Amino acid sequence: MDDDLQSLPRVLIELRMEHADLDELIDRALLDSTTDDLTLRRLKKRRLALRDKIARIESELEPLRPA
């Protein structure tokens, strides 16, 4: 497999896109009165996990700053 396809910057872009998709899905679910609370909680939990993963990857990609 090509290393470039799984590089951290590429993974970061994909995670950000997935996070944005979840944002949209959650917004639509909030407007839809038929969405149950469990589904909404699961979507929000997944979005939070993605945000944490994005933050970890961003910290790996940032060069260390001298103190």
CA 28 to mean position of chain CA atoms:
17
- Please report whether residue 45 resides in a domain: yes
Per-residue confidence of the chain (67 residues) as pLDDT tens digits? 455 557 989 999 999 999 999 999 999 999 998 999 999 999 999 999 999 999 999 998 887 666 5
Asked, for residue 64, whether it belongs to a domain, the answer is no
Residue 10 lies in a domain: yes
**19 occurs within a structural domain:** yes
How many structural domains is the chain composed of?
1
pLDDT for 1 equals 46
The boundaries of the domain holding residue 23 are 3-59
Give CA–CA dist 25/43, Å, rounded.
8
